[in-house]
Structure 1
Amino acid sequence: MIITKNQEEIELMRESALIVSKTLGMLAKEIKPGVTTLELDKKAEEFIRDHKAIPGFLGLYDFPNTLCVSPNAQVVHGVPNKKPLQEGEIISVDCGAIKNGFYGDHAYTFAVGEVSNDIKKLLEVTKESLYKGIKQFKLGNRVGDVGFAIQKHAEKHGYGVVRELVGHGLGKKMHEDPEMPNYGKRGRGKKFIDGMVVAIEPMINMGSKRIKQLPDGWTILTSDGLPSAHFEHDVALVNGKPELLSTFHYIYEALGITSNEEDEFRVSSTN
């Protein structure tokens, strides 16, 4: 069952989403060669608690940490550890926070130092596919329209779209209806209605779409060992149009990047 939110609840969800956005922005300055993902995890937990919120992933389904950190061929759900990051790697950082009883949940894939042109392209196309999906999250469309847009863009560049892991509705629970696959057929699936809030999150592999799981019971990685990228936004359907609750603004501010990619989906200030 889809649980719609009123405008007051959407504003509360924006607060939760922006705490995650600010956490990722803080981490953007810390992600560099030699840093361990366990160090990043500790900083994230402290930052979230300092902002009077609760880490959304810590203990969820018995997950042991605040962040899911997934470098290189890891797709999602990587567990923080003491291995230092290395120049030329990429790392997906997925983070959640609870404030006012609502979840925020989004992710960004960071480059560690300088990365190859092939990896830059993977990151660029995956992020582009995210926004192509968000654009289809509008009144009158269905779940399949979002998935189709993401899949078409990623596969046009020869990339694999992960099937087993999907985006989802978001609210007082981390995972609500509907599931939001990153593949699909136009006009299929549940119809979008005002007040829906979803997490749209393409997981795109440089090679095969196939994945496998490590014995830790969490970490998902590509079956062929090629890199994977992951970007995620929280989006509300307001007056028939998609409105971003999360933002990459704080990441871009930390990294000195100028971008207007969010402008068409942004109504309120990110301050």
Structure 2
Amino acid sequence: MSAQPRIFSSLVANRFLHSSPSQPLRQLFRYNGEKHVYMRFSRTSSGLTNLLFNRRNVDELSNTKRKHLRPGKLSPRRPVPSNIPKPPYVGSSKPPGIASGSEVHDEKGIECMRASGRLAAQVLEYAGTLVKPGIKTDEIDEAVHQMIIDSRAYPSPLGYGGFPKSVCTSVNECICHGIPDSRALEDGDIINIDVTVYLNGYHGDTSATFFCGDVDDEARKLVQVTKECLDKAISICAPGVEFKKIGRTIHDHADKYGYGVVRQFVGHGVGRVFHADPVVLHYRNNDRGRMVLNQTFTIEPMLTIGSINPVIWDDDWTVVTEDGSLSAQFEHTILITETGAEIMTQC
């Protein structure tokens, strides 16, 4: 662990936490039995301060024009053939958090990353074709799961810190980590599908937000600008560039349209491990660190129309906006090259 305050990352709802070296990860993933949970420790000019996230029943969200999300029924966990290699965290209910050290690769590692990234992109593209009114998010999970194991890969979210499904499906006000269930998509919904695959010992991680049926202009604009934020952030990446430039680029573009940038969930190194250094903040910040050649990491901005404050459901995973307003996200895994950045998660 670094001697400096750092962020821990995991696929759980309390996925990214600012921490000090004196506070082990297990102490940060704690819930005191009341209607709140410690979710993030933020840096301020006066040091580390606690930020509490309210744990609310979904009925407590404010009124919006759209029907609020409600938890559906979960299907049984889908099996993975025993001959498919599994990540080391499978079988443990505790998420491993962010691994110390960046993911920097030799030529063999880069080729493995290209393969896992390409498969993740193909799976995401296929999942997007399934989005239509009436399909259940669990049906999307079933299709994604089958495509991944048919490719002799492992769906990275499955079993990560106890996550029960093979993909995250985050609908409308869900910021991230939505669990696929019996809820059917409705006309006008937007849905982020977050795919990560583990192939030949390397993870490829990507996500996109899709339209379901006739989506209104407000939602379409949010999705468009979120994608632009990701594209602009990737365009400035190159060896020696400060990571904080990513946050400034995203935040500046979001500000032009009055959108909020969610701060509690961040990008991360990815490769042989699911979550590694560096931590990639999507908002203006003064964090240190520069990109290095042959390094791989994700950029995954999450924008909102209204409040940027997250609320976690009682399932310990699903994260929604405090006011029920729409949220959108896009994500790519990128490789730092001599001339800039290569998007690894594209078909």
Q: TM-score, normalised by structure 1?
A: 0.89
Once residues 72 and 213 of structure 1 are traced to their aligned partners in structure 2, the CA distance between those partners, rounded to angstroms, is 15
Alignment partner for residue 28 of structure 1, among 110, 116, 128? 128
* Matching residue of 1:93: 193
Once residues 275 and 237 of structure 2 are traced to their aligned partners in structure 1, the CA distance between those partners, rounded to angstroms, is 18
One-letter code aligned to 2:198? I
Alignment partner for residue 301 of structure 2, among 202, 212, 216? 202
Are the equivalent residues in 1 in contact too, given 2:226–2:301 (CA < 8 A)?
A: yes
Gaps of 5+ in 2: 1-100
Are the equivalent residues in 1 in contact too, given 2:103–2:272 (CA < 8 A)?
A: no
Once residues 239 and 103 of structure 2 are traced to their aligned partners in structure 1, the CA distance between those partners, rounded to angstroms, is 16
Once residues 20 and 149 of structure 1 are traced to their aligned partners in structure 2, the CA distance between those partners, rounded to angstroms, is 26
One-letter code aligned to 2:108? E
Deviation at 1:240?
4.2
One-letter code aligned to 1:76? C
* Matching residue of 1:63: 163
Q: Kindly indicate whether residue 324 of structure 2 is the aligned counterpart of residue 230 of structure 1.
A: no
One-letter code aligned to 2:261? V
Once residues 122 and 101 of structure 1 are traced to their aligned partners in structure 2, the CA distance between those partners, rounded to angstroms, is 35
Deviation at 1:10?
1.2
Once residues 62 and 142 of structure 1 are traced to their aligned partners in structure 2, the CA distance between those partners, rounded to angstroms, is 34
Name the one with the larger helix percent.
1
Aligned residue for 2:149, secondary structure, equals helix
One-letter code aligned to 1:177? D
Q: Kindly indicate whether residue 116 of structure 2 is the aligned counterpart of residue 116 of structure 1.
A: no
How many residue pairs were aligned?
A: 247
* Matching residue of 2:179: 79
* Matching residue of 2:226: 126
Once residues 70 and 87 of structure 1 are traced to their aligned partners in structure 2, the CA distance between those partners, rounded to angstroms, is 15
One-letter code aligned to 1:150? I
- Structure exhibiting the larger radius of gyration computed from Cα positions: 2
Are the equivalent residues in 2 in contact too, given 1:75–1:203 (CA < 8 A)?
A: yes
Deviation at 1:29?
1.8
Question: What's the C-alpha RMSD, in Å, of the aligned pairs?
Answer: 1.1
Deviation at 1:3?
3.0
Gaps of 5+ in 1: 248-269
Q: Report sequence identity in percent.
A: 35
Deviation at 1:7?
2.3
Deviation sequence 1:62-121 (CA, Å, 0-9, x none): 110001001000000000110110000000100110011000111010100110011110
Once residues 162 and 189 of structure 2 are traced to their aligned partners in structure 1, the CA distance between those partners, rounded to angstroms, is 28
* Matching residue of 2:140: 40
Deviation at 1:17?
1.0
* Matching residue of 2:27: none
Deviation sequence 1:176-228 (CA, Å, 0-9, x none): 00011111247x42111101101110111111211111111000111111000
Once residues 107 and 260 of structure 2 are traced to their aligned partners in structure 1, the CA distance between those partners, rounded to angstroms, is 37
Once residues 13 and 67 of structure 1 are traced to their aligned partners in structure 2, the CA distance between those partners, rounded to angstroms, is 19
* Matching residue of 1:104: 204
Aligned residue for 1:118, secondary structure, equals helix
* Matching residue of 2:320: 221
* Matching residue of 2:5: none
* Matching residue of 1:17: 117
Aligned residue for 1:183, secondary structure, equals coil
Aligned residue for 1:32, secondary structure, equals coil
Aligned residue for 2:109, secondary structure, equals helix
Alignment partner for residue 311 of structure 2, among 193, 204, 212? 212
Task: Give the 3 Å change call, closer, same or farther, for CA 185–240 of structure 1 in structure 2.
Answer: farther
One-letter code aligned to 1:222? T
